[in-house]
Amino acid sequence: MRKVLGFVAMSAVGMVPVFSQEPPAGPPPVLQIMREVIKEGKGAEHEKTETEFVRAFRKAKFPGHYLALTAMSGMGEVWFLDPYPSFATWEQYQKEQDKEPLKSELETAESHDGALREPGRSMWAVYRKEMSYQPEKLNVGKTRFVTIGTYRVRLGHDEDMHSGAKAILEAYQKASIDATLLCYQVIQGAPAGTYLFFSTMDSLKTMDDIPARQKALAEAMGADNYRQLMKGSGETFASIDSNLFAVSPRMSYVAKEPRTPNSGIPSRKPPRSQRKRQDSRPFNRYTRELQADASRFVCARRCRIGRRGSNTQLFFTRGLSHLAPERGALAFGLGLDG
């Protein structure tokens, strides 16, 4: 687990005080991403050790919250997302984590967790609003899956990337595509020109709509413009990588906020009349549903679901659909293929 996690909300009119418990609105300006590669056969054990961090933070009533994502494609790894309103805030939260007994409890959890991991990677990224689409429609309460597209722009081609992104965003708006996409530019921990695009889903059924969205996008841009943009993407990008992740309720540290029947947020305490028919362990039913959906995509290996440091409320807040014009349009960071 990372050494520090933080959470500071952003309101519609500015930054909320560092330890405010007010619900955040909008993507965080700064995002720390911890990528943990899990040893083969240690997924279940790793999930258990991650709950040690969750218990320690909850016991200390730590104001930070985080979102854990488990890979369903690519390498067997877990991504932990930590949001901040500024880089300076990281130092403030480090001081909070250095207080006892939280410090000792986190060190113990880290010793257990570290034995189950391979060398990982830490990245820092900044939000790029001008290359994001409908961020106001995010809803973490209904998010079960996330696609993350990693785009590496060739040196000297940033302008091409930005103009292509603008063209695709305009086409999305013209076609009234109901989806949301968040763009983050990695500034530390990855090669220059690395951009990450996050798209969330409340169900994998959303991926069945990809062909229709590709068609709508091409029609909105115009066939010739679309083909030209796709053809030019090979010169703009050095590589494009897209992977599917499952949200891990058990390994994420989320706020205990009020829940309504239609909020889509799993309740930790079911109504008294139903408690005999449900497991008492938090998120049990939600986790089983995630695993059931994930099983359609994972055959030979167990799908691991979850862990660590970003505020779920702050980062994903209203079901974003899976955007996916084909690989080339993705290249411009405005769609993610499955």
Domains and CATH numbers, the chain: 30-331 (3.30.70.100)
What is the pLDDT tens value at each position of the chain, 338 positions in all? 544 443 333 322 233 333 333 444 578 899 999 999 999 999 999 999 999 999 999 999 887 788 999 999 999 999 999 888 888 888 888 888 889 999 999 999 999 989 999 988 999 999 999 999 989 888 877 889 999 999 999 999 999 999 999 999 999 899 998 888 999 999 999 999 999 999 988 899 989 998 998 899 899 999 888 888 888 888 899 999 999 999 999 999 877 654 444 434 444 444 444 444 444 444 444 444 444 444 443 333 333 333 343 333 333 333 333 333 333 343 333 444 43
> What pLDDT is attached to residue 3?
42
Cα distances (Å, whole numbers) of residue 76 to 25, 62, 153, 247, 292: 31, 29, 25, 14, 18
> What pLDDT is attached to residue 256?
67
> What pLDDT is attached to residue 309?
38
**Residue 58 backbone phi and psi in degrees, to 5:** -70, -40
> What pLDDT is attached to residue 25?
59
Kindly report the pTM of this predicted structure. 0.70
From CA 188, how far away is CA 121, in angstroms rounded?
11
Contact 92, 85 (CB under 8 A): no
